[in-house]
Amino acid sequence: MSKKNILIKTNILVCLIILAGFLLTAILSYRANYSSALENVEQITDLTSEGIYYQLSTIFTKPVNVSLTMANDSFLKNYLAGEAGRLEDDSYIEPLKEYLGAYQKKYGFDSVFLISTVSGRYYNFQGLDRILTRDNPENVWYYAMLEDSEDYSLNVDNDEVVNANNDITIFVNCKIYDEKDNTIGIIGVGLRVDYLQTILREYQNDFDVNAYLINEQGMIEVSSEHSGYERLNLFEENGLTDIRDELLGWKEEGTSKSLWSSGSAPSGKRAYVVARYIPEISWHLIVEQDPPSLIAKLRQQLYHTAVAIAAILLIILFVIGFVIGKFNKHILRLTQEKEEAFRKATEQLYDNIYELNITQNRAAGVSTQRYFESLGVPANTPYDKALRVIAEKQIKEEYREGYISMFSPENVMKNYRSNNTHLQYDFMISLDDSGYFWMRIDAYIYLCTEDHSIHMFTYRKNIDAEKRHELKTEKKIQTDEMTGLLNKTATRQHISAALTLNPEKKYAFFILDIDNFKQANDLHGHDFGDYVIIRFTDIMKSNFRTDDILGRIGGDEFVVFIPVNDLESTEAKAELLVSSLRQTCSYHSSSWNITSSIGIALYPDAGTDFDTLYKNADTALYESKRLGKNRYSFFRE
């Protein structure tokens, strides 16, 4: 065999080896990049959906709370009750205009409106806009809501108010009830859809995802391009019918449902979809990312690699080092870009991010270890012991056990085995001596393929302003505006909670009624009557402790719920209360004698739940009235 033939065969063999090596490398690199790309799609989509969810929750909490506050405003109820006698009086409109205008100006809503069920009048901050009639198809939502049992609802519609240009608007509508729970009006606020569309469009542009707000039927209420006015079905439009039931069935508050569509539906596509439920508005947030463009880019890279291989085969080994080096740099750059995008996205959402190795019970990563050491935790301290040090030094006492229990290695592993990979806990923390503030930790559990251990990422976020506003709003909703006592709904909730928490205790359920209160209103007017109620309430408060449950459940009807020792002490308390409430009330030039009738039901003898105790105490109250008032009576079988 000649040297030339040997050289040719040698070159062919070398080329085949190089070709096989490069082909194998290219295929493996493509598969690795493909898997990494899909993981990045999932991570970015999950985090983006969470960011949108919390931003939308903050946006919608305010209009819902403001609408509920207005719907429970006693001034508005009383003023609306007088509308029937003043339909021809133009001066009646001005206070309503100022009232609605004040809320519109204070909170910056695009619309603030009030509809009277008596007259059908539609008032807004510009005055009387129009009168609603059943034959107008634009008013279908109004009559549907009157027939519905819900206290408030949302709908997307064009704003027909003068100068509103028929802009598409999201309306929060709340019913107003009178003392007999009859609906006397509907009040609400409106937000322009284009404001929410701008938010969703920003996320779409920044993270290459599509976000939608849909209702229970899958109809798109808001997206970057559409609104509920267009009546488009997300699942039919995007070919996601195969996962429709799973997404609409997910209603766990604060958690998400993540899955890939199969792409098997007609005209369907394979996409990664994350669903979250927003209970404040009963809508679903759907965030999806379609990876075909990313896969096409990876395939294009594979084609470029094949061309490079052909060139390398022409010049054999001359450029092999250069090509491999360039290829590796290209892959590294892509990975770094994705990691940087992920880092920026998470830094915008959270204050601190730490990683733990749950299987090995230790910190994972330099930043986590430094955080432990900054609190005086020695290096290589097990995670469960470091967790207790953190709780002792930074967490407010009443939240420590909950914090430790939530993020202990045992609980993390238990949740992971139950397929729950997301933990969340709100608590108060102090990072220095400046005091405690509200913090939220979102923890995500996953299996790390590098060390085959269960890891957990913890994302810390300062929610102090949001949490304090939430607690303040909750207290305001539960309080009777005139007296400062609990309202009827809150009274029921607090008493039921006390019975559930300490069922072994003895309690007394008092119902108090001001004797002949209608006489005070008739003789001296409603201002005097309001003063009598306030004076009566002050005397009540002075007879009980701050942690006793006191509520106003009607115009001049009150409830007190207290723990007691025996019948004798309860009788003494009732006698003292009747005596204390026997007062002469003077206001300006008017004077009136206050007395009270009281009915008492003892737990557990006279009932073991709120409704039974209320009914039996009310029976005892009527007995006090029958015996001449200004006295107390116990319920007896």
Please list the active-site residues.
556
Residue 151 in tokens: 């206290």
| Residue 201 burial by Cβ neighbours in a 10 Å radius (0-12, 13-18, 19+) | middle
Query: How many Å apart are CA 462 and CA 399, to the nearest integer?
Result: 16
Query: How many Å apart are CA 445 and CA 448, to the nearest integer?
Result: 9
For residue 98, the number of C-alpha atoms closer than 13 Å in the C-beta half-sphere is 5
Compute how many other C-beta atoms are within 10 angstroms of the C-beta atom of residue 69.
16
Query: How many Å apart are CA 380 and CA 401, to the nearest integer?
Result: 23
Residue 364 in tokens: 């994972």
Beta strands in 294-343 (DSSP E): none
Query: How many Å apart are CA 358 and CA 408, to the nearest integer?
Result: 9
| Residue 123 burial by Cβ neighbours in a 10 Å radius (0-12, 13-18, 19+) | buried
The end-to-end CA distance of the chain, in Å, is: 120
Inter-residue contact 276 to 284 (CB < 8 Å): yes
SS3 assignment, position 571 = helix
Query: How many Å apart are CA 447 and CA 615, to the nearest integer?
Result: 57
**CA-based radius of gyration for the chain:** 34
Which residue, chain included where needed, has tokens 């094949």? 306
Any idea of the CA torsion for 343, 344, 350, 354, to the nearest 10 degrees?
Answer: 20
Alpha helices in 72-149 (DSSP H): 74-81, 93-107, 140-147
Query: How many Å apart are CA 42 and CA 79, to the nearest integer?
Result: 54
